Amino acid sequence: MAEPARRIDLLDTAPRFTAAQADALNARFAGVSTHEMLAELLREGLAGRIAAVSSFGAESAVLLHLLASVDRAVPVLFLDTGKHFPETLAYRDELAARIGLTNLINLTPDADLLAKRDETGLRWSYDPDGCCEIRKVAPLAAALVGFDSSFTGRKGFQSKTRAGLARFEIDTTDAAGRLKVNPLADWSADQIEAYFTATGLPAHPLVEQGYPSIGCSPCTTRVAPGEDPRSGRWKGWDKTECGIHVEGAATELPPGYDPAF
């Protein structure tokens, strides 16, 4: 039997984590239900100051509902890129009200940075990595400075690049060793669907239109049955992630940059 993880008291130690601590948390919560893990994690403060990063996409409701069932005040960071489908923004508002989230934080790109590097708003069409850096990576990096860890909704079944995802890992985009928690890492598509059915949570309106993975509207297309759920993201480009979960994607923030809270 694996040795249980020690309690990580971030009030008395440096507010960052090591790979060994992430491994210890994976061992401690091996075989523990997702809800029980979240309850213990939040109530005991094992992850320090933590926020959830949510796209309010196709499957986001599951994690948000689980978190709200433990603590509705968990900060939820939404990257309002200015390029979302109108349906996503409406779904964000509906879901937040339905679940009772009390700490939804909308992050927006720096206006000066947009003016300098994406004046026409068309950077996505010739440099999607650069567009994601301005509209997602930089605002999130600035917002996460105040947190020790973050929840993500990533799941192993979503793509080949996410297969084998662990519940706890070190955020490779953060040199200081922020912890990244993936509560649904080992959930299957059937489990996600069953949770929606059991709770009566509303589905994102674009799912039934053939969008199993939903990002910004210019870079999201429909997916044919049987295709990788994320194959509709950045179709035609050698790109599978926006950058917020990719090693080396951390960006230098503009002087005095402050996300719009």
Whose CA is closest to 234, among 255, 216, 252, 247?
A: 216
> Per the domain annotation, does 176 fall within a domain?
yes
Query: What predicted TM-score, i.e. pTM, was given to this entire model?
Result: 0.83
Q: Position of tokens 């700490």? A: 103
CATH number at residue 134: 3.40.50.620
- Amino acid symbol at 170: I
> Per the domain annotation, does 177 fall within a domain?
yes
Strand partners, 84: 216
> Per the domain annotation, does 78 fall within a domain?
yes
Whose CA is closest to 169, among 11, 27, 26?
A: 26
> Per the domain annotation, does 254 fall within a domain?
no
Q: Report the pLDDT value the prediction gives residue 174, as an integer from 0 to 100.
A: 72
Domain span holding position 149: 19-219
Q: Report the pLDDT value the prediction gives residue 257, as an integer from 0 to 100.
A: 40
Burial level of 261, CB count in 10 A (0-12/13-18/19+)?
A: exposed
d(CA 250, CA 138): 8
> Per the domain annotation, does 154 fall within a domain?
yes
Whose CA is closest to 222, among 204, 207, 241, 239?
A: 207
In the chain, how many domains are there? 1
Question: What is the pLDDT tens value at each position of the chain, 261 positions in all?
Answer: 343 444 444 444 444 899 999 999 999 999 999 999 999 999 999 999 999 999 999 999 999 999 999 999 999 999 999 999 999 999 999 999 999 999 999 999 999 999 999 999 999 999 989 999 999 999 999 999 989 999 998 887 655 655 678 999 998 777 678 999 999 999 988 999 999 999 999 999 999 999 988 999 999 999 888 777 778 787 778 776 666 655 444 444 444 444 333
Q: Report the pLDDT value the prediction gives residue 69, as an integer from 0 to 100.
A: 97
Token pair recorded at residue 157: 């079944």
> Per the domain annotation, does 178 fall within a domain?
yes
> Per the domain annotation, does 69 fall within a domain?
yes
160 phi/psi in degrees, rounded to 5: -65, -35
> Per the domain annotation, does 50 fall within a domain?
yes
Active site residues: 242
